[in-house]
Structure 1
């Protein structure tokens, strides 16, 4: 529930009238709960939600491994807690070998929990601070900032306690990185969710030019659409050589219980594989070991570990001629995404359509470059200390491909909308 909806009129007086009509009644106790307490508990609950899932998987995995014959439930809990910390960028050591890759599947689950709890917190405290009329008049409102700070504090308490209980000298996770990732989640997904839930985002959006909102919408659609395309391409590649993945699982000699847990843990790396695939489609590709490359124009691999997702890798050696045509997918995806976005923010001006598409695509390329930077890392000793895409190359290629694709999509949709407008005018005068 958003209690402070925006007004469409660009003047301050119209904003006050539209916002004031939907303002909360000061006596609505549901939306005036203790701000600091509710936000702090919300942040702690967001952290505990995913932590409890990881702990449960750790205990189940411990029991299914040997029916509890070795170790104790505490060992399973520690493994689950370390997995949760790893999803927050902690890194760790396994038998002295550094593992720094972040399972983006778990990180995405944590981000979703932060969003859901943050939205509820925002709704619960939406009655605090100045009302809609005073906000429209320019009065400062610290509700979202205070709630986000308290939300982050609650999240950090859980993260710090988990680190203190689970970390050992042998595993050596990084508390600094855990704190940094926790703050990043709260400052992005948490802040956005609290803003939306409290209704402040709707008010602030009324002051943002339509062209900026259109560019942001295009950016999100391009990024989301491209990640979806990358995931589909990865799934097709894995399905084509699914027999190899099954053979890898069989050679690991896992029981039914072990195989189930192993499959679930493997699934947490599917988002990483999607980003790797996106880097492949852009051209730079990615590495699966030191001095290796997997790209549409060249594949040079060395010995690989037994991991089922690696069955999606192309064969070593020269690539087929048709793989070079995969490079058309990124700009094509951006063009389609921008065109769909412009249906929500129509424009008849050529410069607006071109600029929105180009800027939105470039912003999506920037975000993809950041994802590429955090998707890889060390996964083992020796050669496997370097796995992932070259983030800077991906950044440059993504900004170029998405920017050009967005530009084309924006211009084409502007032409279509101008044509539809002219046809409608002719029909009305006929």
Structure 2
């Protein structure tokens, strides 16, 4: 055969690839477009998605407990793997607010660091389930509630199963109480993630009155600043009593592994100490047993358990320079009011105006109740019994903390917002 030349066309008619006609009737592969904010390959049945997400959230919050308690039991002596895992399940349930019934009495002091970890994982579970059912960006409250409720149901089943396993050992846990508590915690945690990923939060932000929206934002800022101040004061107190804390840890005689585990257990209760310290700065204080009080004006405690976290308790009433700490809550409220005014000034500057007094004062006043609810709820979950008898009451009184926080933050925010507004120059 002779080579193909321009004078001798090939079977394709002598046309190059660019010159050949395109068969427009040829079938093309079609990719379905995503629906309802989800990807066509990422859809999954609600029950499957919720079960997998709830199980993964439970596992990732359970494993750290197993490791920490494994270190503690390793320091105390030989322990069976089954016993360690069962004890870790009891600790996991306690981190969700499920009380334990032991031979020494009820144990209900929740390690809030574990609670925060569990809520974070549940938030991610809500995000994953919402994506799996195609609800991303739909702004549908119904679909967000559906995803959160499904995660709550799956988490309730896991909580009841964990309670049954714990009940075969030492501690006694009510499966019904465990299921109900885990259902509430699971649904609330997942709802935060579902509302964010479905853009329901944006929908609510557009429908809430501006004064209330800014007040909620300012109140949350003030509450978090107060908790930060309390955490700093608690850390300073523990650092000051670091020698006593080290002696308490060394007195356990559990070896390096056991002492590391005890330290980690103490860190799990660090958020509790931060909330108690915040209550101390606000005035109501807290209790470390029945008929005890730790306030700026009074410190009345008896014999305390050898817990490193209690090494930073004050020795007596606050006086001298320490009394200046009492001004911290008011200053926090003023800072929140200043931030509120600065934010409103930036928004008003786009219209070459200044913030309206009515909106500013209403937002600052609303910040007080918001911060009060936040701190009151934190105080409520930070306390609990440490057994029967004298240690049946530990922690602050929630309604007192909420009431004082409301008054202090509202007054401070109003003062800070008004002063900043007066000193702010009108745009030219």
1:167 equivalent in structure 2: 167
Pairing of 1:256-275 with structure 2 (within 5 A): 256-275=256-275
Shift of 1:24: 6.2
Deviations 1:78-106 (A, max 9, x none): 11000001112222233332212111111
Deviations 1:314-345 (A, max 9, x none): 114x4424444322111211221343244444
1:207 equivalent in structure 2: 207
Deviations 1:35-90 (A, max 9, x none): 44323322232222212332333334433432xx3x41000001100000111222
1:107 equivalent in structure 2: 115
Q: Verify: 1:38 aligned to 2:45, yes or no.
A: no
Pairing of 1:214-229 with structure 2 (within 5 A): 214-229=214-229
CA distance in 1, matches of 2:221, 2:402: 18
Q: TM-score, with normalisation over the residues of structure 1?
A: 0.83
Shift of 1:255: 0.8
CA distance in 2, matches of 1:386, 1:370: 17
CA distance in 2, matches of 1:299, 1:329: 20
Partners of 1:82 and 1:167 within 8 A in 2 = no
Deviates more, 1:377-386 or 1:363-372: 377-386
Deviations 1:263-318 (A, max 9, x none): 111111111111110110011111112211111111112111111111111114x4
In structure 1, the gaps of 5 or more residues are 1-22, 426-430
2:76 equivalent in structure 1: 65
SS of the aligned residue for 2:101 comes to strand
In structure 2, the gaps of 5 or more residues are 1-33, 349-354
Q: Verify: 1:389 aligned to 2:425, yes or no.
A: no
Q: Verify: 1:85 aligned to 2:93, yes or no.
A: yes
1:333 equivalent in structure 2: 332
Deviations 1:123-155 (A, max 9, x none): 333447xx86xx7xxxx7621121111111111
Partners of 1:126 and 1:199 within 8 A in 2 = no
CA distance in 1, matches of 2:358, 2:223: 23
1:406 is aligned, of 403, 413, 416, to 413
Shift of 1:31: 5.6
SS of the aligned residue for 1:98 comes to strand
CA distance in 1, matches of 2:270, 2:281: 16
CA distance in 2, matches of 1:246, 1:75: 28
SS of the aligned residue for 1:142 comes to helix
Q: Verify: 1:380 aligned to 2:387, yes or no.
A: yes
**Matched positions, count:** 387
Partners of 2:249 and 2:262 within 8 A in 1 = no
The structure with the larger Rg is: 2
1:157 equivalent in structure 2: 157
Shift of 1:28: 3.2
CA distance in 2, matches of 1:242, 1:53: 25
CA distance in 1, matches of 2:259, 2:48: 43
SS of the aligned residue for 1:304 comes to coil
Per the alignment, do residues 103 and 25 of structure 1 end up closer, same or farther by CA in structure 2, a change over 3 Å counting? closer
Q: Verify: 1:356 aligned to 2:363, yes or no.
A: yes
Higher helix share: 1
2:300 equivalent in structure 1: 300
Partners of 1:167 and 1:173 within 8 A in 2 = yes
Partners of 1:36 and 1:147 within 8 A in 2 = no
CA distance in 2, matches of 1:59, 1:191: 33
Shift of 1:109: 1.1
Partners of 2:166 and 2:173 within 8 A in 1 = no
1:191 equivalent in structure 2: 191
Partners of 2:135 and 2:143 within 8 A in 1 = no
CA distance in 2, matches of 1:251, 1:162: 33
CA distance in 2, matches of 1:330, 1:189: 29
